[in-house]
Structure 1
Amino acid sequence: MTARGTSAAGTGSTTAAVKQAGQAGQAEVAGQAGQAGPAGQAQDPTPGAAAQAKTGRFTISRVAALVLVAALACVLAVASVSLGSVSVPPRQIIQALTSADANGYNHTVISDMRIPRTIIAMLVGATLGVAGAVMQAVTRNPLADPFVLGVSSGAGFGITAAVFFFGADSPEQFTLMAIAGAVLAGLLVIFIGQGTRGQSSPVRLVLAGMIGGTVMTTWTSIMVYSDDHTRETVRYIMIGGVGGRRLQDFPLAIGLAIAGMVICILMSRSIGMLALGEDIAAAAGVHTARTRLIASIVVVAMAGASVAICGPIGFVGFAVPHLVRPLVRGSVEWGIVLSAFVGASMLTAADILGRFALFPAELEASIVMGAIGAPFFILIARQSSKVAS
């Protein structure tokens, strides 16, 4: 809710930039399509581009980029377990985990609090990163992500409605209703975003997402503030964060998140062809309608699972593909894989930053991402508009 509030505060200032960026999304995709070979395979204009990516003045292989982002994720995972109100050096972490004294202070802090928090941050970050990469590829819209398009708000609405109307109280019920709410939000966005001829542009889709997300958030707030039980039950939905969660409470959501990422990786070639355009994808033998439908269902399920675990966290799915794209030179297949590691790193870093931003108080990861993500959204939109012009 707070992250949504941060986004909403910048909506007025971003709308103009979003409108200017509409053509940019299509220009960017057209540029990628122009690199497609006769067999529909994306071709890089640089020699050896199949194995290399240019970033700034440096040229690194995609495998090296994958190793680097994976190493960064590992470093941040160790830092997340180590740092907090009570810092525990890595050597003491190992000692605490292998100690026979299961009631020791360090053992309790690490095994019961820090490790679950870190795993959840990395899992949800990876899930949102992959979901954002797939959503941007399928919609051919560089401004798309589950949060911006209102899907995350719909998932929060689904959980709140389940508690308010039916007294739902189990994580499994929360997960299923989150997915139902995400589907409802997706249908609402499609309905609002369609033009008079049944077609939706990137601009209309983003603006429809903002409208749909606002509607869902408004009704969520009405239910929360009109019932004490609902407010106490879904507090974590109002401010998304990764602290205070237990892994054993979310087996269904965790399973859906992992399964969704695996499916997206397995479908990455078809999704990459679809990002180049339906004609190119069809020429390459991709069943475009089926691929789009399956990818959309998987992304909605992943977004719902993420919200069920830790509430809505914005801008991870939006920012990650933009950070990954220079490393993979436009390859959607590699981009989806790297997005998992970069997304995990980003949310974990946001959680670590939130622990110290107002020390000894903590900021939830959604607040940190909202503070960073909203300006980044404006920056990308403005840069995209310059490319289009």
Structure 2
Amino acid sequence: MRRLPWRSALAAVAAALAAAWVIGPVSLPGEQPIRFVRPEPATPAGAAAAKPPKLSRYASPIRYAYVPACEDGSGPCANWILVTTRGERGWLPGADAAGSLALSQDGTRAAYLRGDETYAVADLMTGTLKPLPVRQKGGSVGEIFGAQAPLFSLDGRHLLIQRDHLDKNDEIVLERPVIVDIDSGTAHRLPATDRVVGWSDAGLLTVTSERTDSLPGHITSAKFTVYSPRGKAVRTFTLPGNLTYGTVPSPSGRTLASLVRELTPDSIADLGVTLTDTSSGRPVRTVVPRLPAGWRIGEILRWDGDDALVVKSRGPLDETTYHVLDLATGGLRRLGIDMAEVADLPLQPADLGVVVASVRQ
């Protein structure tokens, strides 16, 4: 089990809350007002509480989901908002805006922790919901404090779930990862690990840091293990310890992508994205993104095939947007996910308030 420090993060959130105010919904320039697929009907005062609304069915895949910034704490404002590739919007009942949400890469499924402390997967094309045999007792502390969000496999058939809890010293403990077969409901628990890295076609990649004296220039090594969806270790390899964090595996599993940064007297300079061969541990090449002046890549979210990355970019005024980075040319295609309203949320920074799914045109 892995313990994470969280008191400093809690202090930062408390400070933000003390200085924050609640604002109404915001539309971006040129963006149409939000139109919900199935808005919640109003409940007259004194009337019995309405039954939980059913899931909506969507005619096209989900492009992204976000946490709304609005004053009302019910209906859509209490849940994640889904936006399809055609611009259709709807909200996901039961997916608490304060909790984690996962979307399959094809934009057809969503996974989240429900109020009854069980995980569920929603089929967004059919409007059906499937409970999973994994319970999160006491609820999750949330990603902002270091919890691991659920992760769909590349084909959307399996889900990684890593539960968390607070120990007697109020430190966050990440429990052993669990891989769930969504259709059959079977679950396989993995050995303890430092970090879940992500999915490849071969299975789930995890990493554990170990002290070493066999790698010149490094005091730690990163031991990577690939687990099949049935929880069996199918491959291990060891790389320098500086690749323990911030790396993302390609679908083939043959390459890791990581940001290259350099500390300067005034700031942190982004030098591009380094691709590392997992079989040799050697850098293959560095890709320099063709970003406008003042912009930089803030995070690699995932791969899109074996020749492109989905990245989150930041502007000179700390604006946030999303691109697909072509690894052959360094060119970027903007995804049109400019979430100004998410950035205004006092307790849900833009880093955590958006989940990207289908990026295909």
**If the TM-score is normalised by the length of the shorter chain, which range does it land in?**
under 0.3
Higher strand share: 2
RCO higher in structure (CA 8 A, sep ≥6): 1
Q: Greater helix percent: which structure?
A: 1
TM-score for the superposition, normalised by structure 2: 0.25
After TM superposition, the score normalised by the length of structure 1 is: 0.24
